[in-house]
Amino acid sequence: MSNPLEILKDNWLQAKSLKDASANFCSLATVSSAGEVSVRTLVLREVTDDSVVIFINNTSPKWQQLHDSKSFELLVFWPQLMQQYRVRGEAGEVPVDLMREQWARKPYDAKIIDLYYSECQPQSSVVVSRERLVSDINALKQQYPRDSDIAFPEIAKGIAIKANYVEVWHNSATDRLHERNLYRLSNGEWQQRTLVP
């Protein structure tokens, strides 16, 4: 039975080659312990034969939500291809050595913001004002003027979603009878079912 992550990966390359503006993004929906749903855009970092990788930080609400509840779903939609993928699975951490390497490639300003989460305030917390945020960021830039001054912050996390459920939606341009296939991993084998579009 075909592996839906290979399908996703192949089509991701195609979306990128067609310069699809959404190619490098995904949406992640999570649920809090109180049952509140959140969804947000993230950069789609990597797709392997079994996982989809995103980068977040452990001061963020989504990190907490991924830990509090096993219920989440990652979605990608590529308009150039008119394809949608919905992925569920087990969220595991990217090994810290690998993450350190990846994080080193981030631009300076992105590293400074990670430092802010780590040393000033958690992501998504309320700040006194935009001015205060900017002045705290500027203070960090003065303290760490060069990219090489900034050490890898432990708050930076890579999440590898090891997929066990992938729903593939491919548009039918001619008759609206879109193709929907649900793949579930069962005893290490992908089982495919056809869904009503």
The Cα–Cα gap between 28 and 190 comes to 23
CB of 12 vs ligand FMN, minimal distance in Å: 16
Residues 62-101 that bind ligand FMN (CB under 6 A): 62
Does residue 121 interact with ligand FMN by CB under 6 A?
no
| Of 107 and 188, CB closest to ligand FMN | 107
Binding residues for ligand FMN, how many (CB under 6 A)? 13
Q: Does 43 bind ligand FMN (CB under 6 A)?
A: yes
CB of 172 to ligand FMN, least distance (A): 29
Question: How far, in Å, CA of 190 to CA of 167, rounded?
Answer: 12
- Angle among Cα 101, 140, 138 to the nearest 5 degrees reads 125
Q: Binding residue for ligand FMN (CB under 6 A) from 4, 11, 20, 55?
A: 55
Of 69, 124, 143, 191, the one binding ligand FMN by CB under 6 A: 124
56 binds ligand FMN (CB under 6 A): yes
Binds ligand FMN by CB under 6 A, chosen from 31, 42, 75, 99: 42
Which part of the chain contacts ligand FMN (CB under 6 A), choosing from 36-44, 85-93, 133-141, 159-167?
Answer: 36-44
Regarding 61 and contact with ligand FMN (CB under 6 A), the answer is yes
Question: Position of tokens 């990597």?
Answer: 46
The answer to the question of residue 60 lying near ligand FMN (CB under 6 A) is yes
Contacts to ligand FMN by CB under 6 A = 25, 38, 40-43, 55-56, 60-62, 123-124
